[in-house]
């Protein structure tokens, strides 16, 4: 089945109940949440489970270090029971800013913490009583009072080979981000052909390329200066193109950092143009090996978000 997902809540219009309920009839198969500094990752999906029972639902992603393992299992079990067989739990290491500066946690051994959390969740969501000393935490006698009848699939945020290989070996799929259609094959080469590969794709429906690129540069500078994303794009082969941005950013010259981002990079990583052109670009990702595109349309105020969502529906 060809998948066509979208991010909820919608940018600019939040949790629009009527629009979410309409998504299946428009051709959308999935609704995925995120968790940064807006809505939490689970509440929108619990609501969408009731409003659009045909949709597959997923978190992309919730961090493994901002909740304790037991709380993460309990929250996932709650949503899994609201959407049996339709919920995918996407987890990932996140970043030092989110884990430490915003949530008073510890961002240590991100690969190991993600691996350990995956292994714990597998057992806990299957209803096992878990007593285990993992590398990054210990659990003594945890058992869900109500394990979900259908344990959710678990997918991992993965940007580079080690985490991608973990996702292929032990999880049910991989979630990636901030890549071009041409990059998909390099990511796909690290995982099995049958492994589900999911990516959130930022979309601006606008033919004003200068305006789009100005917005795109701010987004790219905010994300790709984070060490994990910088390393990802070094691996993808954009290290030299992005070096001037990184140098200016490190020197504290934000204006120069934005100016240093080439148009080519913006056009690679931000989908823009007419709705028809945007849909065609999404299909390029799918043709190159992406299993599940998750559209993330941005709100420029040019047209209502509900119209944008309808215009971007698969044809």
Given this model, what pLDDT does residue 225 score? 95
- Looking at the chain, the whole-number percentage of residues with pLDDT higher than 70 is 100
Cα 141 → chain centroid: 32
For the chain, what is the mean pLDDT?
A: 96
Helices 17-26 and 43-51: crossing angle in degrees, nearest 10, is 60
What mean pLDDT do residues 175-198 have? 96
pLDDT mean over 114-130? 98
Residues 49, 82 contacting (CB under 8 angstroms): yes
Tokens of 135: 């590398």
The two structure tokens encoding residue 233: 């794009």
CA angle 203, 204, 210 (to 5 degrees): 130
pLDDT surpassing 90 at residue 9:
yes
Phi, psi (rounded to 5 degrees) for 11: -60, 130
pLDDT, tens digit (0-9, with 9 covering 90-100), for 204-255: 999 999 999 999 999 999 999 999 999 999 999 999 999 999 999 999 999 9
Confidence grade of residue 197 (pLDDT, cut at 50, 70, 90):
very high
pLDDT over 90 (residue 43): yes
Reported as a single tens digit per residue, the pLDDT across 245-304 is 999 999 999 999 999 999 999 999 999 999 999 999 999 999 999 999 999 999 887 889
Residue 1 has pLDDT above 80, yes or no: no
Instruction: Kindly give, in sequence order, each residue whose CB lies less than 8 Å from that of residue 6, ignoring residues fewer than 6 positions away.
Output: 23, 28, 30, 31, 32, 294, 295, 296, 297, 309, 312
Place of tokens 């993992």: 134
Q: Which residues pair with 201 in a beta bridge?
A: 295
pTM: 0.96
Helix H segments across the chain? 17-26, 43-51, 69-82, 96, 110-125, 161-170, 184-188, 209-224, 227-236, 239-250, 254-259, 263-269, 275-287, 305-311
- Would you say residue 45 has pLDDT above 90? yes
CA distances (Å), origin 191, targets 32, 38, 185: 22, 31, 10
């Amino acid at each position: 089945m060809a998948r066509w997902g979208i991010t909820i809540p919608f940018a600019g219009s939040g949790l629009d109940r009527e629009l979410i309920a309409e998504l299946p009839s428009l051709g959308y198969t999935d609704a995925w949440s995120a968790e940064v500094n807006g809505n939490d990752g689970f509440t929108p999906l619990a609501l969408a489970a009731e409003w659009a029972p045909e949709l597959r639902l997923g978190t992309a992603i919730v961090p493994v270090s901002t909740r304790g393992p037991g709380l993460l299992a309990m929250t996932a079990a709650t949503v899994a029971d609201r959407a049996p067989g339709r919920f995918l739990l996407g987890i990932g290491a996140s970043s030092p800013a989110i884990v430490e500066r915003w949530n008073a946690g510890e961002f240590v051994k991100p690969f190991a913490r993600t691996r350990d959390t995956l292994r714990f969740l597998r057992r806990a969501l299957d209803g096992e009583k878990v007593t285990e000393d993992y590398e990054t935490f210990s659990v003594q006698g945890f058992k869900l009072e109500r394990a979900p009848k259908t344990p959710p699939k678990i997918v991992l945020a993965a940007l580079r080979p080690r985490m991608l290989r973990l996702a292929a070996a032990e999880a049910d799929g991989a979630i990636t981000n901030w890549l071009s259609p041409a990059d998909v094959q390099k990511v796909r080469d690290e995982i099995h052909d049958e492994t589900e590969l999911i990516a959130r794709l930022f979309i601006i429906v606008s033919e004003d390329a200068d305006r789009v690129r100005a917005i795109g540069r701010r987004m790219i500078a905010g994300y790709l200066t984070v060490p994990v994303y910088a390393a990802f794009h070094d691996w993808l082969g954009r290290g030299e193109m992005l070096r001037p941005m990184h140098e200016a950013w490190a020197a504290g010259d934000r204006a120069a950092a934005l100016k240093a981002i080439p148009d080519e990079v913006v056009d690679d990583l931000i989908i823009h143009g007419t709705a028809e052109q945007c849909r065609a670009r999404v299909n390029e990702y799918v043709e190159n090996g992406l299993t599940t595109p998750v559209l993330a349309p941005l709100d420029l105020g040019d047209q209502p978000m509900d119209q944008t969502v309808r215009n971007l529906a698969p044809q």
